[in-house]
Chains A and B, each alone.
Chain A
Amino acid sequence: MLTKIQNLNYLLIFLVILISFIGAAGLYSAAGGSYSPWASRHLIRLTFFIFLAVILALINIKYIYQFAYVFFILSLLLLLSVELIGVFGKGATRWINLFGFSIQPSELIKITIILALARFYHDLKFDEIKQIKNLFFPILILFLPFALVVIQPDLGTALSIAMLGILILFASGIRIWKFVLGLFVLILSIPLSLNYLQPYQKDRIFSFLNPEADALGRGYQLIQSKIALGSGGLTGKGFLEGSQSYLQYLPEKQTDFIFTLIGEEFGFIGTMFIILLFLLLISVCFYISIKSNHIFGRILSIGVGSNLFIYVIMNISMVSGLMPVVGIPLPLVSYGGSAMLAIIMSLGLVLNVELNGNLKKLHNA
């Protein structure tokens, strides 16, 4: 036990804490220079979740492997219950109240998808991967949560689940031509899925394609976001010096648009610093993956790293106008318990993989 604690990857833990602290600084500024209501809770959550993650890291990986499908099914049921509450209760919701905490099952499911896929490919012989029939199960694992999230409707999360699936399937050695085919199907389905989008989602996409046409509504958010980022320049306006008035117009300044605030106050240097920290964090995940000598650990670490990557790229692309505003937080920086819990726990799993990376076998015990 003690050796395990000594062998924890402290670089990873340090990166998590550093990024979260930057987030707390941003939240402190977003509240107009106050710990309440966001920064203090952000830090309390960080402490609590890191503690949980370390405990998770110390568990024998065999148990995590064994319960991978159970976790997936449990989180799928949670997601389903949110849907049902949405249908029978007071309208659509993404939240569920569990033991006094309101959590967003759509954030948790991404982690259990990684677990389930990692176990599936671990159990599969290399030759079997090629067989078409062995695509059925992973696609089911991806499709069920994807469909549930789409009807919520949470476009951003649905998109990130789809991307996560693609990256993991790619990493696990699926044939390239299958991806090309998948991509083809995806492109064909775009006009169809447009019909099912909520009006506000269509607005977002069309305003992205032509922000000036709707400078008032949706496009307005984007223009404000770019003004905030751009006016930060190289070095930024300084901590707490960001023009608050802009951020009043950003309805989600403490969540999805926090990166804009940091960009305004710390400039290009600040944004690059954050990006590099995330790149480093993802690199650590990949390093641990390569080092691991069981498939379960490999896929798990790559999955977690990819999940992190999707969050970061989608969020920054969104606020900088590279893609439509779909509502994806910046991990560890944005305010919000569910995403933070999911991210830190998943990194706890990666820590676990490193501690258990030298296990010669991980059997279907």
Chain B
Amino acid sequence: MFYSDDKKQYSVLNRRTFLLYLLKVSFFGIVGWRLYDIQIKNSEKYKTLSKNNQIDVEIIYPLRGKIYDINNKILASNIKVFDVYIIPENTKNINKSLNELNQIIKINFSDRRKIIELSKKVKKFEKIKVLENINWSELEKIEANKLNIEGIFISQDYMRIYQHNNTVSHLIGYTNKPNREEVELPFIVNMPNLEIGKAGIEKSFNPNLIGKSGQREIEVNSYGRVIREISRQDSQKGNDIHLTIDLRIQKYALNLLKEHKAGSTVLMDINNGNILCMASTPSYNPNKIIQKPNKEYWDSILENELSPLTYRCTQGLYAPGSTFKMVVAIAGIVHGVIDTKTKHFCSGKIGLGDRLYHCWKNNGHGLMNVSDSIKESCDVFFYEISQNIGIDKIAKVAEDFGLGKIYDVPLPNQKKGIIPSRDWKKKKYDESWYPGETLISAIGQGFVLTNPLQLAVMTSIIASNGKNVKPNIIKQNTNIVFEKLEKYQNAINIIKSSMFKVVNDNKGTAYNSRSESAPFAGKTGTSQVRRITVAERESEDFRKKEVEWKKRDHALFVGYMPVENPRYAVSVVIEHGGSGASTAAPIAKEIFQFTKKLET
């Protein structure tokens, strides 16, 4: 059925259809006229543009930002080098060109494959780096043969250089070619050849350090000679980064550490959280990593079982041993379990269940209060009080003092460590907590794991009378104020006087390391890496025996300086160093004295 007014509707439709058709034809007319304008009227102009000249676009790579220490000493910058490039569209056969080049300088096989692979991916006019940092005689040879080899050219370039080789290598990291995933990163779009940071600060600050690429549009004739530059947009240099590290202390500390196989130390400025020194040994030389060929050096690093790439300050996890006792004592005082008068008798061991828990001093310390037990590092006192405090309260205080945390500092791959609690064990092992585990935890053994940076932060919080000190590695222009944890004030006062005695009282464990020029306070720690058997314990002199390096205890020391109004906090960990008093404390002393000397 037609509707009654169908006829009228169809006539409207016909009219509209006709109008629409007219509109379309006229649009086609406009487009046709435009093409006539370009292709016929102005054809000559475009033909000359096309025939004699062509336009080339070159990406101008930005210069990577420099890295400085706190006193504006350069830690990383760029030097001029000569590199050889190939442009795929300028050679008929990229294989042939590489072959010819290979006769002048060896190009290894896998590099060649990568170049050819890359040439298929990037735009034909994009230059690809073939060799870098060539020496003078190579440069001369290539210059002489340049005309015979299609598509190659030599360009002055910049290479990253680390002025202090392995002194700050872990912290700063190094740069290298992006891998397959990294090429997709937004800040290096268009720049597949750009070296980017692969570790440390170089990695964390890639977006800042890289800067912005520029481009250059040039007109070249059919022989490839540049006729003129049409436009140029310069690249923008990357931002410089200023660290809080003091190169002088860093160097000094690393030299002290180097006397041992493996270890690390962190020195912090308590007032602002600035990390002044963060040294780890063994370390590596980033210059040897970025200068090709580097295969041998890489292999030697990877084969080294001490793993030089590991940044022990943040990535090394150690049982804190007796350095953990401050946290336990503070927990005891704050929760009213102990006060300065509380005493326990140390006979060298206590029993719990069917196990014996030993003090490091086999025949015991006698009657001990909290101050003495920190000064002489009595284990039994802490076994006793920990049972009354309970692991969960200890864990809470430990976290307030910065342990078991990953800090918001731009250091990649920080290890969190473990501050055990009932919940933690339930989640991790689906087991309930055993009372004996509280005892072991109270002397910083068992499950407890911390990294040296955390220990330095813990010490800073104690030394600052409970300010919530946060570590900081980038130099700040503003003053930083940390909030204060008031509830710990009283407990901290007691602990600080005990820590003073550790170093300055003749019964203190670190008395041998006391310093006249830079008086300091602190706490030693010796953490077992294996269980001591009953037979060994009975043979009286088991601690004096020469044991295999790997089985020796880790040596730890944490401390602050000066004693009144402390400014610096330190942590020292020497792997398998024996005891904290003999190995770690002397290093802390040297670092404090050196730092003090710099102040004057």
Judge if A282 is at the interface, Cβ distance under 8 Å: yes
- C-alpha gap A263/B39 in the complex (Å): 8
For A228, give the chain B residue with the smallest CB separation: B50
Contacting pair A231 B51 (CB below 8 A): yes
Given A309-B24, A313-B28: A268 and B89 interface contact (C-beta under 8 Å): no
For B214, give the chain A residue with the smallest CB separation: A216
- C-alpha gap A281/B569 in the complex (Å): 83
Contacting pair A231 B43 (CB below 8 A): yes
Q: Which of B10-50 contact A (CB under 8 A)?
A: 10, 12-14, 16-17, 19-21, 24-25, 27-28, 30-32, 34-36, 38-40, 42-43, 45-47, 49-50
> In the complex, what residues of A have CB within 8 A of residue B27's CB?
309, 313
Contacting pair B28 A275 (CB below 8 A): yes
Judge if B534 is at the interface, Cβ distance under 8 Å: no
Name the one of A223, A248, A271, A290 contacting B17, with C-beta atoms under 8 angstroms: A290
- C-alpha gap A179/B28 in the complex (Å): 22
Judge if B57 is at the interface, Cβ distance under 8 Å: yes
Contacting pair A226 B28 (CB below 8 A): no
Name the one of A220, A228, A309, A361 contacting B1, with C-beta atoms under 8 angstroms: A361
User: What mask results when residues 162 to 176 of chain A are scored 1 for a CB within 8 Å of chain B, else 0?
Assistant: 000001001111000
Name the one of A167, A223, A272 contacting B35, with C-beta atoms under 8 angstroms: A272
Name the one of A223, A233, A302 contacting B47, with C-beta atoms under 8 angstroms: A233
Judge if A126 is at the interface, Cβ distance under 8 Å: yes
- C-alpha gap A229/B31 in the complex (Å): 13
Contacting pair A126 B50 (CB below 8 A): no
Contacting pair A231 B46 (CB below 8 A): yes
Judge if A133 is at the interface, Cβ distance under 8 Å: no
A-B contacts, 19 of them at CB < 8 A, read A126-B5, A171-B16, A173-B16, A215-B231, A220-B217, A229-B46, A230-B49, A231-B47, A233-B39, A245-B54, A268-B35, A290-B17, A298-B13, A298-B17, A302-B20, A309-B27, A316-B31, A320-B35, A361-B1
Contacting pair A249 B49 (CB below 8 A): no
User: What mask results when residues 241 to 283 of chain A are scored 1 for a CB within 8 Å of chain B, else 0?
Assistant: 0010110110000000000000100011001100100110011
Judge if A9 is at the interface, Cβ distance under 8 Å: no
Contacting pair A229 B17 (CB below 8 A): no
User: What mask results when residues 294 to 329 of chain A are scored 1 for a CB within 8 Å of chain B, else 0?
Assistant: 010010001001100100010011001110000000
Contacting pair B50 A275 (CB below 8 A): no
> In the complex, what residues of B have CB within 8 A of residue A125's CB?
3, 5
For A282, give the chain B residue with the smallest CB separation: B24
Beyond contacts A170-B20, A234-B43: 18 other A-B pairs, Cβ-Cβ < 8 A, are A126-B5, A171-B13, A172-B16, A220-B55, A230-B38, A231-B43, A231-B46, A233-B43, A243-B50, A248-B89, A267-B39, A268-B36, A293-B10, A306-B20, A313-B27, A316-B34, A321-B34, A361-B1
Judge if B490 is at the interface, Cβ distance under 8 Å: no
Contacting pair B39 A268 (CB below 8 A): yes
Name the one of B9, B42, B54 contacting A173, with C-beta atoms under 8 angstroms: B9
Contacting pair A216 B231 (CB below 8 A): yes
Given A216-B231, A248-B89, A279-B28: A230 and B45 interface contact (C-beta under 8 Å): yes
> In the complex, what residues of B have CB within 8 A of residue A322's CB?
30-31, 34
- C-alpha gap A161/B45 in the complex (Å): 37
For B7, give the chain A residue with the smallest CB separation: A126
> In the complex, what residues of B have CB within 8 A of residue A361's CB?
1
Secondary structure at the A interface, as helix, strand, loop or mixed, is helix
Judge if B484 is at the interface, Cβ distance under 8 Å: no
| Chain A contact patch, size range | 35 or more
Residue ranges of B at the interface with A (Cβ–Cβ < 8 Å):
1, 3, 5-6, 8-10, 12-14, 16-17, 19-21, 24-25, 27-28, 30-32, 34-36, 38-40, 42-43, 45-47, 49-51, 54-55, 57, 89, 123-125, 215, 217, 230-231, 233
- C-alpha gap A295/B13 in the complex (Å): 9
Name the one of A127, A234, A246, A298 contacting B50, with C-beta atoms under 8 angstroms: A246
- C-alpha gap A233/B47 in the complex (Å): 8
Contacting pair B39 A232 (CB below 8 A): yes
Contacting pair A263 B51 (CB below 8 A): no
- C-alpha gap A91/B248 in the complex (Å): 47
* Distance between A315 CB and nearest chain B CB, rounded to angstroms: 10
Given A246-B54, A248-B123, A361-B1: A215 and B217 interface contact (C-beta under 8 Å): yes
Contacting pair B39 A271 (CB below 8 A): yes
* Distance between B398 CB and nearest chain A CB, rounded to angstroms: 39
Contacting pair A320 B55 (CB below 8 A): no
> In the complex, what residues of A have CB within 8 A of residue B51's CB?
231
Judge if A147 is at the interface, Cβ distance under 8 Å: no
Contacting pair B32 A272 (CB below 8 A): yes
For B37, give the chain A residue with the smallest CB separation: A320
- C-alpha gap A246/B32 in the complex (Å): 23
- C-alpha gap A234/B8 in the complex (Å): 48
Name the one of A226, A282, A289, A313 contacting B46, with C-beta atoms under 8 angstroms: A226
Name the one of B35, B50, B215 contacting A263, with C-beta atoms under 8 angstroms: B35
* Distance between B165 CB and nearest chain A CB, rounded to angstroms: 41
> In the complex, what residues of A have CB within 8 A of residue B10's CB?
293
* Distance between A309 CB and nearest chain B CB, rounded to angstroms: 5
Contacting pair A126 B6 (CB below 8 A): yes
* Distance between A164 CB and nearest chain B CB, rounded to angstroms: 12
Name the one of B20, B32, B35, B215 contacting A229, with C-beta atoms under 8 angstroms: B35
- C-alpha gap A217/B215 in the complex (Å): 9
> In the complex, what residues of B have CB within 8 A of residue A302's CB?
17, 20
Name the one of A126, A229, A245, A282 contacting B3, with C-beta atoms under 8 angstroms: A126
Contacting pair A279 B25 (CB below 8 A): yes
- C-alpha gap A52/B12 in the complex (Å): 34
For A217, give the chain B residue with the smallest CB separation: B215
Contacting pair B28 A286 (CB below 8 A): no
Judge if A227 is at the interface, Cβ distance under 8 Å: yes
> In the complex, what residues of A have CB within 8 A of residue B49's CB?
227, 230-231
Contacting pair A230 B42 (CB below 8 A): yes
Contacting pair A275 B31 (CB below 8 A): yes
Name the one of B12, B89, B215 contacting A245, with C-beta atoms under 8 angstroms: B89
> In the complex, what residues of B have CB within 8 A of residue A263's CB?
35, 39
For A226, give the chain B residue with the smallest CB separation: B38
> In the complex, what residues of B have CB within 8 A of residue A283's CB?
21
Contacting pair A249 B24 (CB below 8 A): no
Contacting pair B215 A234 (CB below 8 A): no
- C-alpha gap A220/B34 in the complex (Å): 19
Given A230-B46, A268-B35: A215 and B230 interface contact (C-beta under 8 Å): yes
Judge if A160 is at the interface, Cβ distance under 8 Å: no
- C-alpha gap A41/B28 in the complex (Å): 30
- C-alpha gap A148/B20 in the complex (Å): 28
Name the one of A127, A167, A224, A317 contacting B20, with C-beta atoms under 8 angstroms: A167
* Distance between B6 CB and nearest chain A CB, rounded to angstroms: 7
* Distance between A243 CB and nearest chain B CB, rounded to angstroms: 6
Given A215-B217, A230-B46: A320 and B38 interface contact (C-beta under 8 Å): yes
Given A167-B20, A233-B47, A302-B17: A224 and B55 interface contact (C-beta under 8 Å): yes
